[in-house]
Amino acid sequence: MDSIAIRGGKPLHGKIEISGAKNAALPLMVASLLTEETLTLTNLPHVADISTLTNLLCHHGSLAVMNGQQSGAGSSSGRTLSLTARDITNTEAPYDIVRKMRAGALVMGPLLARVGKARVSLPGGCAIGTRPMNLHITGLEQMGAEIDIVGGYMEATAPNGLFGAEIRFDTVSVGATENLLMAACLAEGETVLENAAREPEISDLIKLLRQMGADIDGEGTDRLLIRGVDRLYGTEYRVMPDRIETGTYAIAAVITGGEIELLNTSADLVRSVLDVLIEAGADVTESKNSFIISRKSKRLNGVDIMTLPYPGYPTDMQAQMMALMTIADGAAMITETIFENRFMHVPELSRLGANITVHGHSALVRGVDHLVGAPVMATDLRASVSLVLAGLAAEGETVINRVYHLDRGYERLEEKLAACGADIERISSGG
Ligand code: UD1
């Protein structure tokens, strides 16, 4: 297992090109199951989850062509992926894939809508919480599906096809909104999704589905109205920029006291994160498709945050902001409302000298003068990158073990940081 070694304390200066958004690309790729024609996606990030999902789609019978070449298992090196699901030859999404990447469960709605059946592994628990599937299941049942849980799998059939329904989510769920949105496009009649997620990745999916011929109203609101159509068509679509990668590198600039220009993204995508950074002592200069961020004052101020569904502060940026708050003056109360167990990074940040106390869903961070490098362990994707950020600010060497989590979601992380002056290297264990 690879590790990453960082010798911290260097202010980062330079430009970083933001990749396409993993969390937008995954549902867009799944949407290819809704048509027999070819869907071509551009601006894909080079991250492990993209190849894992490509493998799943091929398993269902899709033909995948990456940068003009037929894509084999494990390939993740292209930017442009064409997916053609002419025939669905297999409707099972196996445990081995869905366990690694929960987004694999998004195939359930599209498979049901297209061929009337799907057998999808339950994703199971993960490091950040139990993450149930009840909203996906009850929504599809309201649309006419019959779903049984057998041997860890959701066995779903829709013998008479799916039909429109009025569905109200009692919790805002990105995945359930995406799953039902895709299913509703090919269902008979009108579907209304109330209390739907409003994340920009949902808007990206709606734009693509419309381009494929879907009839959807309410983009950007929590009430989506979908009028089912008989068929969808192939198209070409560019994946939106990754707002979590954008926010992460913005914090890298501020935590090291440097200045970074983030390219191919926009400040609007990370408004709630920038608001906190500005309050903490950052300076932001915005342009149309880029912005420059730096630390204005020598010391940072502690700022309280609470994670919320979009447009609130994103849970996927909670760990990174906590890393910043460990060296701010005063205290910061960080409250996590989306996942029940998303403070796995706390003991690891404490190893670097952070002063953090967890009380239920809140963590009280009392800023310290400086962090000191130490060996730490990555636990999940965003927790891992918070340790990288803390390591960039810490004095001495930080070695982060189990970095495979990072490779799921951050493209060429070490390269992008090193180009701005970070002393960072990957140590390959060869095993
Ligand atoms: C997506 C993102 C993930 C992000 C999360 C919240 C992708 C691939 N992943 O995950 O990075 O952290 O949104 O912004 O886009 N819930 C239920 N029942 C369900 C489904 C969800 O109770 O059937 C709960 C979850 O346990 C959680 C909350 O709803 O507490 C939000 O989860 P959800 O928005 O569904 O997260 P994902 O779509 O899995």
Atom 11 (ligand 1) nearest CA: 316
Q: How far is CA 316 from CA 81, 91, 246, in A?
A: 26, 31, 12
Least confident of 126-140, 218-232, 275-289: 126-140
Provide the annotated active-site residues: 126
The per-residue pLDDT for range 226-237, each reduced to its tens digit, is: 999 999 999 999
> By C-alpha distance, which of 41, 38, 42 is closest to 84?
38
* pLDDT confidence tier of residue 427, bands split at 50, 70 and 90: very high
Atom 22 (ligand 1) nearest CA: 132
220-225: Cβ within 8 A, 24+ apart: 221/196, 222/172, 222/194, 222/195, 222/196, 222/197, 222/198, 223/192, 223/193, 223/194, 223/196, 224/177, 224/181, 224/192, 224/193, 224/196, 225/190, 225/191, 225/192
The per-residue pLDDT for range 156-213, each reduced to its tens digit, is: 999 899 999 999 999 999 999 999 999 999 999 999 999 999 999 999 999 999 999 9
Atom 3 (ligand 1) nearest CA: 316
Q: Is 124 near ligand 1, meaning CB less than 6 Å away?
A: no
Q: Rounded mean pLDDT of the chain?
A: 94
The pLDDT of residue 127? 62
DSSP one-letter code for 19: P
Q: Is 108 near ligand 1, meaning CB less than 6 Å away?
A: no
Distance 367 CA to ligand 1 centre (A): 30
Q: What is this structure's pTM? A: 0.95
The pLDDT of residue 186? 98
Burial class (CB in 10 A: 0-12, 13-18, 19+), 198: buried
**Residue bearing the bigger pLDDT, 409 or 177:** 177
Query: Is the pLDDT assigned to residue 340 strictly greater than 90?
Result: no
Distance 175 CA to ligand 1 centre (A): 6
Q: What is the largest CA-CA distance in the chain?
A: 65
Distance 67 CA to ligand 1 centre (A): 31
Average the pLDDT over 283-306 and give the result: 96
Taking residue 11's Cβ as centre, other Cβ atoms within 10 Å add up to 18
Q: How far is CA 92 from CA 143, 153, 166, in A?
A: 20, 9, 28
Q: Is 291 near ligand 1, meaning CB less than 6 Å away?
A: no
DSSP-derived pairing of the beta strands 166-168 and 397-401: unpaired
The per-residue pLDDT for range 242-279, each reduced to its tens digit, is: 999 999 999 999 999 999 999 999 999 999 999 999 99
- pLDDT more than 90, % of the chain: 85
Distance 8 CA to ligand 1 centre (A): 33
The pLDDT of residue 72? 52
* pLDDT confidence tier of residue 280, bands split at 50, 70 and 90: very high
The pLDDT of residue 212? 98
Average the pLDDT over 283-310 and give the result: 96
Q: Is 173 near ligand 1, meaning CB less than 6 Å away?
A: yes
The pLDDT of residue 76? 47
Query: Is the pLDDT assigned to residue 241 strictly greater than 50?
Result: yes
CA-CA distance, 63 to 82, in Å (whole number)?
8
Average the pLDDT over 268-292 and give the result: 97
The pLDDT of residue 430? 66
The per-residue pLDDT for range 7-59, each reduced to its tens digit, is: 999 999 999 999 999 999 999 999 999 999 999 999 999 998 999 999 999 99
The pLDDT of residue 73? 44
Q: Is 407 near ligand 1, meaning CB less than 6 Å away?
A: no
Atom of ligand 1 nearest to the CA of 314: 14
- pLDDT more than 70, % of the chain: 95
The pLDDT of residue 28? 98
The per-residue pLDDT for range 49-88, each reduced to its tens digit, is: 999 999 999 999 999 998 876 665 444 456 899 999 999 9
